[in-house]
Amino acid sequence: MKRITFPRVISFIVIAILLVFLISPNAKGWLSQQLMKIGLFKPDLTQMHTAEPSAESVASRPARSVFFKDGEGNRIDAANLDGKVVFINFWATWCPPCIAEMPSIDKLYDRCRDNENIVFIMADVDSQYEQSVQFMENKNLSLPVHMPAGEIPGDWLGGAIPTTVILDKKGAIAARHEGMADYSRKEIVDFIQGLIDE
């Protein structure tokens, strides 16, 4: 019979912790949040925003309607939000990077909540409205939950979540970021305020 030694106990604990991080989306989300707090995972908005609209950004204007809906079935048409900055986040409750960035988006939402010139659309790509609302409640988040209600353009949502798209007041993509990011940073608030002031 092998003796239990201190190094074996430590090895067992390390393996157990690694398994938790591999299996649990919440644990992965927590670890990612800690990495964001030290300054990792911030989107570089200067590379995503151009003063002169490119052919790609003009093509991304919602000339065709792009619909989202809330739990009561109320539809939001991105084409009818002209004159407002629109922050759209595509996410799912099972996605660790989505879980990690949610508190930072909630902080941004709280800062902008009373500004009628910005609309937040938190689009659950699984369209599990009740589950998503429960997720928000469990995490003490005040973000509004929406679901896609039709086809989402490929230049808005490729194949990865989380993906965040910020539309300017004309409906063109001002910023698009795939992967998690810390949206509570001052430069994000300043970026959005700059779009509002344009």
Helix or strand holding residue 146 (H, E): strand 145-148
Beta 118-124 vs 145-148: how paired, if at all?
parallel
Query: How many CB atoms neighbour CB 163 within 10 A?
Result: 21
User: And the tokens for 21?
Assistant: 């991080």
CA pair distance 78, 96, nearest whole angstrom = 27
In a domain, 55, yes or no: yes
Of 69, 66, 71, 43, which Cα lies nearest the Cα of 136?
A: 71
In a domain, 190, yes or no: yes
Residue 136 sits at the vertex; the CA angle it makes with 132 and 141, to the nearest 5 degrees, is 150
In a domain, 76, yes or no: yes
198 residues of the chain, pLDDT tens digit each: 567 776 776 776 767 666 666 666 666 555 555 555 545 555 555 434 443 444 454 444 444 578 999 888 888 888 788 789 999 999 999 888 898 899 999 999 999 989 999 999 999 999 889 999 999 999 999 999 999 998 888 888 888 899 999 999 888 889 998 888 889 888 899 999 999 998
In a domain, 117, yes or no: yes
How many domains, the chain?
1
**Distance between start and end Cα atoms, the chain:** 74
> At residue 165, what are phi and psi to the nearest 5 degrees?
-125, 130
CA atoms within a 13 Å half-sphere pointing along the CA-CB vector of 179: 7
Range of the domain at 38: 6-197
In a domain, 10, yes or no: yes
In a domain, 1, yes or no: no
- CATH number assigned to the domain comprising residue 95: 3.40.30.10
User: And the tokens for 158?
Assistant: 């490729």
